Amino acid sequence: MSFIRRRKAPANPVRNDEEKEKDKKKVIKAKIIEGEKITIKRWSCVDSCCWFVGLICSIWWFLLFLYNAMPASFPQYVAEAITGPLPDPPGVKLRKEGLTVKHPVVFVPGIVTGGLELWEGRQCADGLFRKRLWGGTFGELYKRPLCWVEHMSLDNETGLDRPGIRVRPVSGLVAADYFAPGYFVWAVLIANLARIGYEEKNMYMAAYDWRISFQNTEVRDRTLSRMKSNIELMVATNGGNKVVVIPHSMGVLYFLHFMKWVEAPAPMGGGGGSDWCAKHIKAVMNIGGPFLGVPKSVAGLFSIEARDIAVARTFAPGFLDKDVFGLQTLQHLMRMTRTWDSTMSMIPKGGDTIWGGLDWSADVSYNCSAKKHKNNDTYSAFQNGKENLGFMKNINYGRLISFGKDIAELHSSKLERLDFRGALKGRNLANTSNCDVWTEYHDMGVEGIKAVTDYKAYTADSILDLLHFVAPKMMKRGDAHFSYGIAGNLDDQKYKHYKYWSNPLETRLPNAPDMEIYSMYGVGIPTERAYVYKLTPQSECHIPFQIDTSADGGNEYTCLRDGVYSSDGDETVPVLSAGFMCAKGWRGKTRFNPSGIRTFIREYDHAPPANLLEGRGTQSGAHVDILGNFALLEDIIRVAAGASGEDLGGDRVHSDIFKWSEKINLKL
């Protein structure tokens, strides 16, 4: 036995060495925990976030793998077994009718839907040359979050590139056919156009860097010049047939800017002359166009929020304010997005005249609880009398921001407000030296933040003053590139400046009487229109204002849920913004449309997909999903093949846009 014990003895030193190593690690860990608590916390949050995002991406890729592994006909077979035979895609249907290629087509993507790739970066971006930083898989977002934020941000003074960084738009149809794997943007429309004979020689994606101001896309990238040249080439090589332009979302404003730029003399403009649009453009088919801006942009610029983020905060209090990017998440996003000048193009235009005042708004009669029926019509409690108007009596859509639900509902005669415009700013908040990322709120001080809440309610007119107060650097850049008013005299020489070109209320349409302009958008989806805010208790390193998700209307008919008032729209753009110009501002010969370009409104009443296998639906009216709406695709293809607005049947309207437009007192 002693011999056996002696033979086992050599194992003891090995075990002792292992134990010593473990003890050593425990000591090191204890020292780190005592001396580097913040570092441990920060990296653990980053790791957790990366793990979570990686898990989601892995699941997404796995589902895509399963989907792609199926026989191509399997999803259609299952869907038809559930719902019956599916209709032919629009391209197949119209090819059977004999439609073929006629007019070249130009796509103008909106904000965030176009891909961006790296051409020059800093050390943290090694190996990413010409890799997508925006669009695609977004792999670099969760692999190198702080590096990604650094490279997606622009210079806070110029609104252009930061030193040592060049991020540029992806070119070609692939720039915006898919936003991410499996999530189409333009791909369905491109595929259906191809069914009647279109190909890349008569389709052009006018990709641009959607972060920078419209005029700066020309200054930096010559994007407007390249669009002009490509359109001229397509007309010349397609038998002289004019182009059909299809802008989407912010691309609608970008193309408005282009139409003024191309006619204006150099060096500010493209030098094409006053008849360029008449010679080269058959129709502009605007999809989901925020012609007069969107209230959603106000919430984004004010507190980097919208309904979805506000609700996420409710379910996970504090999570978005903590160290998901290694530092405060929303503060990083605010600092990054406030360098994107294009976002200021969507601040509401037309002031209180368009969007309403403290006690009125044109678009108040909308039932947010409307139910869908089999005939795809929307039942409205307000169609057959006034029995339910009591539910609407306290809605003040004109108050885009109210601090408190009671303030949102109180008559203006009872509001006691202190003007914030002359308030003192600059007293430092406590402990701002511990803040990991600077925002302009840190320069406001306690008095400045209090002054914002003391004003209590903001309409479209005062929103501009509010944004100048809380984000002066951002708005200084914005003032050089955009304007939000209503022109008094369009003959005034100041309106020749490019800052007015994307505001349809401060510029004229081209002299092109044979051209057509369409406003095509979804309806029947509650869309963000106004917000109830609160002051947050944590003001040192946090954004001091948040949407108050506890504010709710309290009944099924209410349009106030989770601190957000909703109106009719496509979930992003309210009907009032998408439809007013074609319903009234440009209808017939007006001072904004002196040549009488024909305008058409085509509304698409939202219907959700019948089942999961239908994907995002063929009758969707949602802001991006509408690009797969069969009725919209058919309208576009018919016009591209030579049809006119009258051939389509003229206006198709489901909302009250004409009724609301008549309530707006605008000199025409």
Query: Which are the contacts of 144, defined by CB distance < 8 A and separation ≥ 6?
Result: 124, 125
Q: Rounded CA gap, 411 and 396, in Å?
A: 9
Give pLDDT tens digits for 341-356: 999 999 999 999 999 9
656 classed as catalytic = no
- Residue among 351, 383, 352 at smallest CA distance from 366: 383
pLDDT value at residue 539 = 53
Record the tokens describing residue 305, joined without a space.
């929020």
User: Which residue type occupies 504?
Assistant: P
**Rounded mean pLDDT of 511-520?**
98
| pLDDT of 214 over the 70 cut | yes
Structural contact between residues 536 and 406, judged by C-beta atoms closer than 8 angstroms: no
Residue 177 DSSP code: S
pLDDT value at residue 200 = 94
- Residue among 57, 49, 92 at smallest CA distance from 182: 57
| pLDDT of 525 over the 60 cut | yes
User: Which residue type occupies 147?
Assistant: C
Name the residue with higher pLDDT: 450 or 260.
260
Record the tokens describing residue 357, joined without a space.
């005042």
Give pLDDT tens digits for 609-651: 877 767 788 999 999 999 999 999 999 999 999 999 999 999 9
461 classed as catalytic = no
> How would residue 319 be classed by pLDDT, with cut points 50, 70 and 90?
very low
Candidate list 321, 548, 570, 656, residue with the active-site label: 570
Question: Which element (helix H / strand E) includes 42?
Answer: helix 37-69
In sequence order, what E strands does 159-299 have?
A: 166-169, 178-180, 183-184, 203-205, 243-247, 281-287
Q: Which of 273-287, 365-379, 606-620 has the lowest mean pLDDT?
A: 365-379
**Rounded mean pLDDT of 402-425?**
89
Helix 11-35 with 37-69: angle, nearest 10 deg? 110
Q: How far apart are the first and last CA of the chain?
A: 110
**Rounded mean pLDDT of 302-328?**
55
411 classed as catalytic = no
Task: Region of 43 please: left (phi>0), alpha (psi -120 to 50) or beta.
Answer: alpha
Structural contact between residues 661 and 584, judged by C-beta atoms closer than 8 angstroms: yes
Q: How far is CA 109 from CA 106, 132, 187, 449, in A?
A: 10, 17, 12, 37
- Residue among 635, 586, 643 at smallest CA distance from 93: 635
pLDDT value at residue 434 = 57
Name the residue with higher pLDDT: 482 or 554.
482
Candidate list 249, 303, 402, 502, residue with the active-site label: 249
Q: Which of 209-218, 326-335, 472-481 has the lowest mean pLDDT?
A: 326-335
Query: Which are the contacts of 382, defined by CB distance < 8 A and separation ≥ 6?
Result: 365, 366, 367, 388, 389, 392
| Strand duo 132-134 + 178-180: pairing | unpaired
Give the bridge partners for 600, in sequence order: 518
Residue at token pair 């349409």 = 509
Structural contact between residues 106 and 639, judged by C-beta atoms closer than 8 angstroms: no
Cα dihedral 297, 298, 300, 301 sign: positive
Full-model pTM: 0.85
**Rounded mean pLDDT of 406-430?**
82
Candidate list 248, 280, 332, 623, residue with the active-site label: 623
Q: How far is CA 406 from CA 342, 410, 542, 553, in A?
A: 34, 6, 25, 11
pLDDT value at residue 616 = 84
Structural contact between residues 341 and 332, judged by C-beta atoms closer than 8 angstroms: no
Give pLDDT tens digits for 65-78: 655 555 544 455 55
The CA radius of gyration of the chain, in Å to the nearest whole number, is 28
Name the residue with higher pLDDT: 38 or 174.
174
What average pLDDT does the chain have?
A: 83
pLDDT value at residue 325 = 42
pLDDT value at residue 69 = 57
CA dihedral 21, 24, 29, 34 (to 10 degrees): 170
Give the bridge partners for 603, in sequence order: 521
pLDDT value at residue 438 = 62
Residue 662 DSSP code: H
- Residue among 227, 399, 228 at smallest CA distance from 298: 399
| pLDDT of 156 over the 70 cut | yes
